[in-house]
Structure 1
Amino acid sequence: MYVSLNRNTSKWVVKKFEENHNHVLHLPEHSHLLKSHRMVSEAQAINIDIAADIGLSLKASHDLLSAQAGGKECLGFTREDQKNYLRTRRQRSLKFGESGALLGYFRNQAAQNPYFYYAVQLDKEDMITNIFWADHEMITDYALFGDSISFDTTFRTNKEYRPFALFAGFNHFRMTCIFGAALLYDETVESFEWLFKTFLHAMSGKKPITKGKRMQDNGTLIEPLNQTTEHLLSPKYSRSIIRID
């Protein structure tokens, strides 16, 4: 359709109209999949929050909501929309919740100790996603005992089940040393790559020399960022080995 403004009448006039569509029209039963037709209502958002808080998986909660609505075509949103809603909620809590308090603590520590290191990853909307930190003692211990290190993300810190990651190793007395810690948004390849690069930057580029295999975390293979270094030995209970670099 082509329209133009008639300056004499100050009205828009249709100059050309093409009745034939250049694509196949969506069937009525598929209209709920159109982005313009999808929306999570306030009542549905409450049910999604409850399902997430009690630990129901995304698929299970989406299937339950679909059944309650009379079918997926009546639900009004897709599983991806539900995932995006939960992501937005988690990002908001990261900005204004415990992570906001952590940032305030880190700023104070950095002001008192110039060797205190912390880094924050933001998304395109400037929302906090991942946080890493290491104090002077951690950095010093890594310089001395960082040839072989373990990496663990099995601990969940709060009701949002965000991974708390630890880089650890042993000193010459076989006592555990913590080399760094992170509060992650998720366990995706992107989050791990950011974390490993940040860790190496904090440690002045020193890489572990322990050799190992690549780790597959929750079915996702994390490839090395380059081929020069092989990797982080994980704790015995995780039974995984990961490359960083």
Structure 2
Amino acid sequence: MDREDNLNEANGTKAYAKSLLNYETGIDLNSVIDCESNETVDLEKTDVRKQLVPVLGMEFETEEDAFEFYNAYAYTVGFSVRKSKAHKNEDDKLMDRLFVCSSEGHRQKKKKCDPNVESHRAETRFGCRARMQISCGRSAKNYKVIKFIHEHTHPTSSPSKTHFFRSHRNMSFAQKVEADMADSSGIAPRESVEFMSRQVGGRQNLGFIYDDYKNYLHSKRTREIKLGDTGGVLEYLQKMQLNDPNFFYAIQVDEDDLITNIFWADSRMMVDYDYFGNVVCFDTTYRKNKEGRPFAMFVGVNNHKQTVVFGAALLYAETTATFSWLFDTFVKAMSGKKPKTILTDQDAAMAKALFEKWPQTCHRLCIWHIYQNAAKQLKNVFENFNDFTKEFSSCIYDHEDEDDFLYAWNNML
């Protein structure tokens, strides 16, 4: 092979490495500079992974370029990275930065041994020493790698699990646009994520997890709320209170004066709850069109088997903290009376808040949600056996006595 063939092979390998990095991390290798030749790093070897290993003396134009390069290396090895210590000069210029494995250091003992914490998070810090440090002299323009340790004190992840790490999760611009469209159309976040994962051949190729999707929607909705909206909502609620002196409302706002949660109940709701509030159904299935905010309702049944509303709320996020505030507020509005039984969907955050705030209340799952979940999990059975749908529905809805239900259930099986 002559010199021209060698050069063509090297250029081809270099282009392949660039496309690989751009596909996985968005890194432009033109920003990676060889400190001796002042040229971009030469990727002449066929093993691309070796070219991602940091080398002492390697230079980068910016701190972000260095982080992206080290993060790309971490992706191939199987660990997550984070930014650690840094120093700046009197002109606020970054002089050095340390990038470490996410398992670096140890959890603080006071958090680890706090007796007030019922459920501790899994241990993720193992004192790992893997790191890369960059430094820039006062007269230098580029950042140079001055330290690199590749050994880990813990097993690294397999390639199929690497996408779960925080530093490798990111929603692309196209994915955010698709999320906005799905949200404005009223498509539930979980269904939207499932559809997007199928488009790319599995969740391992998606680039983010379900929590990232929900966090993006929450931050988007928060940005869309204008500061003046808080005053507008307050004005409306105060107007309702003038018309009904017993009208109760409560709102939560964050440090930026943005509304987070709203609850209200009028005098008719309070009277109905006093008579028929032993059993309450709490549901957040409904959505408020474009904003997509969960519309939560406390409902029950009166002595004529008619549905009555005990209270309503607009929420920003279905978290344990949100539900805890809501349950406290509901009890306050209802003069301290708690329901004997509450029916909800299968939301884990809701269940945790109920356990903490209403421990004496019997918590059961709504039969409608149970049926819908069963229909989803037993889709093939529903489609292939015509009699199953009728018999299953009869078991769920037609038997109030336990013995009758068990008899019908066993006959169906």
TM-score w.r.t. the length of structure 1 is 0.62
Listed one character per residue, the Cα deviations across residues 6-42 of structure 1 (whole Å, up to 9, x for unaligned) are 9xxxx599xxx65557868x99x99988867765454
In 2, are the aligned partners of 1:106 and 1:118 still within 8 Å (CA)? yes
In 2, are the aligned partners of 1:150 and 1:233 still within 8 Å (CA)? no
Q: CA deviation at 1:77?
A: 5.6
- Give me the whole-angstrom Cα distance separating, in 2, the residues matched to 1:206 and 1:125: 33
Corresponding position of 1:108: 239
- Give me the whole-angstrom Cα distance separating, in 2, the residues matched to 1:114 and 1:43: 50
Asked whether 1:201 is paired with 2:335, we answer no
Equivalent of 1:181, from 312, 318, 333? Answer: 312
Bigger helix fraction: 2
Question: In structure 1, what residue type is equivalent to 2:297?
Answer: L
Structure 1: give runs of 5+ residues left out of the alignment.
241-245
Q: CA deviation at 1:197?
A: 1.3
Inter-CA distance 22–64: structure 2 relative to 1 (3 Å threshold)? same
Inter-CA distance 238–103: structure 2 relative to 1 (3 Å threshold)? farther
- Give me the whole-angstrom Cα distance separating, in 1, the residues matched to 2:210 and 2:246: 45
Inter-CA distance 87–116: structure 2 relative to 1 (3 Å threshold)? same
Corresponding position of 2:251: 120
- Give me the whole-angstrom Cα distance separating, in 2, the residues matched to 1:155 and 1:2: 47
SS at match of 1:130: strand
| 1:135-150 correspondence to structure 2 within 5 Å | 135-143=266-274, 145-150=275-280
Q: CA deviation at 1:201?
A: 0.7
- Give me the whole-angstrom Cα distance separating, in 2, the residues matched to 1:79 and 1:131: 25
- Give me the whole-angstrom Cα distance separating, in 1, the residues matched to 2:149 and 2:173: 38
Inter-CA distance 239–109: structure 2 relative to 1 (3 Å threshold)? same
- Give me the whole-angstrom Cα distance separating, in 2, the residues matched to 1:44 and 1:192: 29
Inter-CA distance 85–12: structure 2 relative to 1 (3 Å threshold)? same
Question: In structure 2, what residue type is equivalent to 1:150?
Answer: V
Question: In structure 2, what residue type is equivalent to 1:230?
Answer: C
- Give me the whole-angstrom Cα distance separating, in 2, the residues matched to 1:39 and 1:112: 49
| 1:167-178 correspondence to structure 2 within 5 Å | 167-171=298-302, 176-178=307-309
In 2, are the aligned partners of 1:134 and 1:181 still within 8 Å (CA)? yes
Listed one character per residue, the Cα deviations across residues 165-197 of structure 1 (whole Å, up to 9, x for unaligned) are 222334566654322111233444443332221
Inter-CA distance 64–229: structure 2 relative to 1 (3 Å threshold)? closer
Q: CA deviation at 1:136?
A: 2.3
Equivalent of 2:346, from 218, 221, 236? Answer: 218
Larger of the two Rg values belongs to structure = 2
TM-score w.r.t. the length of structure 2 is 0.41
In 2, are the aligned partners of 1:162 and 1:184 still within 8 Å (CA)? yes
Question: In structure 2, what residue type is equivalent to 1:89?
Answer: K
- Give me the whole-angstrom Cα distance separating, in 2, the residues matched to 1:151 and 1:137: 18
- Give me the whole-angstrom Cα distance separating, in 1, the residues matched to 2:291 and 2:249: 22
Inter-CA distance 111–65: structure 2 relative to 1 (3 Å threshold)? farther
Q: Aligned-pair RMSD on alpha carbons? A: 4.8
In 1, are the aligned partners of 2:218 and 2:316 still within 8 Å (CA)? no
Aligned residues: 223
Q: CA deviation at 1:112?
A: 4.9
Q: CA deviation at 1:132?
A: 1.0
Listed one character per residue, the Cα deviations across residues 43-67 of structure 1 (whole Å, up to 9, x for unaligned) are 4422221243442724335426756
In 1, are the aligned partners of 2:344 and 2:365 still within 8 Å (CA)? no
In 1, are the aligned partners of 2:300 and 2:309 still within 8 Å (CA)? yes
Listed one character per residue, the Cα deviations across residues 201-231 of structure 1 (whole Å, up to 9, x for unaligned) are 11121223xx44x756335271422533436
Question: In structure 1, what residue type is equivalent to 2:222?
Answer: Q
In 2, are the aligned partners of 1:149 and 1:232 still within 8 Å (CA)? no
- Give me the whole-angstrom Cα distance separating, in 1, the residues matched to 2:271 and 2:250: 18
- Give me the whole-angstrom Cα distance separating, in 2, the residues matched to 1:230 and 1:147: 13
Corresponding position of 2:262: 131
Corresponding position of 2:178: 47
Corresponding position of 1:151: 281
Equivalent of 1:81, from 194, 201, 212? Answer: 212
- Give me the whole-angstrom Cα distance separating, in 2, the residues matched to 1:170 and 1:64: 42
Q: CA deviation at 1:200?
A: 0.1
Equivalent of 1:227, from 338, 345, 359? Answer: 359
Structure 2: give runs of 5+ residues left out of the alignment.
1-84, 91-137, 141-145, 372-413
Identity among equivalent positions (%) equals 37
